[in-house]
Chain A
Amino acid sequence: MMNSTSWGALRRPISKCKDLKFTNRKWQKRPRGSYGPLLFVLPSLAFYVFFVFIPVIGTVRYSLFSWDGASPNMLFVGLQNYVEMIEDAIFWKALVNNIIWTIGTLVFAFLMGLVLAVVLMQSGIKIIAPFRVAFFIPVVLSLVVIGTIWSWMYNPEFGTINLLLNKCGLAFLARPWLGNDRTVLFALVFAGSWHYSGFCMMVFIAGLQSIDPVYYEVGVIDGATKVRMFFFVTIPLLKNTMTLLIVNVLIWSLKIFDLVFIMTGGGPYHSSEVIANYMFYVTFRIGEIGYGAALATTLALLIGTLSFVYIRMAEKAD
Chain B
Amino acid sequence: MGKAAKLRKIRRLVLRWPVYLFLVAYTLFALFPVVLMWINALKDPLEYKIEFNPLAFPKKITLENLEKAWLVGHMGTYMRNSIIVAVPRVIGILILSSLAGYAFGKLRFPGMNTIFYLMLFGMMIPIQAMLIPLYYNLQRIGMINNFWAMIVPNFGIMMPFAVFFMRSFFRDLPAELMDSARIDGSNDFKAFVYIMLPLTTPALTTMMVLQFLWSWNDFLMPLMLIYEDKLRTLPLGIMFYLVGGYYLDQGLVSAAVTISSLPIICLYIVFQRSFVSGITAGAIKG
Contact = CB atoms under 8 A, between A and B. Distances in A.
A34 B153 CA distance: 30
B159 A14 contact: no
Contact of B110 (A35, A120, A143): A35
Contacts of B241: 148
Nearest to A34: B109
B212 to A, nearest CB: 11
A206 B108 CA distance: 33
The range of chain A's interface size is 35 or more
B239 A262 contact: yes
Nearest to B12: A124
Interface in B213-251: 213, 216-217, 219-220, 224, 234-236, 238-239, 241-242, 250
B133 interface: yes
Given A36-B188, A54-B133, A125 B20 contact: yes
A279 interface: yes
Nearest to B192: A40
A284 interface: yes
Contacts of B55: 160, 163-164
A93 B185 CA distance: 64
Contacts of B217: 141-144
Interface stretch (A96-104, A131-139, A171-179, A181-189): A131-139
Contacts of A43: 96, 99-100
Contacts, number: 293
A220 to B, nearest CB: 16
Interface in A112-160: 116, 119-120, 123-125, 127, 131, 133-145, 148-153, 158, 160
Interface stretch (A84-92, A211-219, A229-237, A292-300): A292-300
B269 A123 contact: no
B128 A134 contact: no
B176 A13 contact: yes
B102 interface: yes
A45 B160 CA distance: 9
Interface string A61-79: 1100000010000000000
Interface string B173-187: 011101100100000
Interface stretch (B2-10, B62-70, B259-267): B259-267
B26 A116 contact: yes
Max chain B Cβ within 10 angstroms of own Cβ: one of A32, A49, A51, A311: A51
Given A150-B33, A304-B125, A44 B163 contact: yes
A269 interface: no
Contact of B137 (A55, A137, A144, A293): A55
B213 A58 contact: no
A95 interface: no
A44 B155 contact: yes
The range of chain B's interface size is 35 or more
Contacts of B115: 41, 45
Interface of A is mostly: helix
Contact of B219 (A57, A134, A143): A143
Contact of A52 (B100, B111, B122, B272): B122
Given A35-B109, A45-B119, A40 B100 contact: yes
A11 B175 CA distance: 7
A106 interface: no
A57 B125 CA distance: 12
Interface in B82-108: 96-97, 99-100, 102-104, 107-108
B163 to A, nearest CB: 6
Contact of A27 (B26, B163, B182): B182
Max chain B Cβ within 10 angstroms of own Cβ: one of A41, A120, A158, A289: A41
Contacts of A203: 280, 283
Nearest to A57: B133
Interface of B: 12, 16, 19-20, 22-23, 26-27, 29-31, 33-34, 36-37, 52-55, 96-97, 99-100, 102-104, 107-112, 115, 118-126, 128-134, 136-137, 152-157, 159-160, 163, 174-176, 178-179, 182, 188-189, 192, 213, 216-217, 219-220, 224, 234-236, 238-239, 241-242, 250, 253-254, 256-257, 260-261, 264-265, 268-269, 272, 275-276, 279-280, 283-284
6 contacts: A13-B178, A37-B108, A40-B189, A44-B99, A135-B30, A292-B132
In order of increasing CB-CB distance, the 3 nearest A-B pairs are A51-B156, A58-B133, A33-B108
